[in-house]
Amino acid sequence: MKKLYSQMSMAELEQEMKSLREELDRAEFPSQRSVIERKYYTAQAYTLDPSDFPPGMYKVEHVQLPFILSYVNGIMAWGTIGEEPDASFPISMLTRL
């Protein structure tokens, strides 16, 4: 049985991300790519420090509207995007504006 990302060491996470990148290259359908990409961002989020993401405005990967981060809970950033009051994304998808 596979470990949870939260139980993996940094080396295991790096190996998982490498494996997911290879899987992404072989994906044939957009829905497949989407699922693998989300797994990649989730694994990558566990390699980051949540305290490096203070509240404020961010760009989210593959999203046009700015994201206003309210708080971080674990690896998930919570805030608002457009008219959506409760949006969340893995912190690895965020870039500070």
Determine contact, residues 77/69, Cβ cutoff 8 Å: yes
Chain segment 24-80, per-residue pLDDT in tens: 999 999 999 999 999 999 999 999 999 999 999 999 999 999 999 999 999 999 999
Confidence check: pLDDT of 94 > 90: yes
pLDDT of residue 83: 87
Determine contact, residues 27/40, Cβ cutoff 8 Å: no
* Residues 46, 64: Cα–Cα separation, whole Å: 24
Count CB atoms within 10 A of the CB of residue 73: 9
Confidence check: pLDDT of 84 > 90: no
As given in the structure block, the two tokens for residue 33 are 């790519």
What is the value of pTM for the model shown?
0.90
Confidence check: pLDDT of 1 > 80: no
Give the residue among 38, 42, 64, 68 at the shortest CA–CA distance from 54. 68
* Residues 86, 10: Cα–Cα separation, whole Å: 30
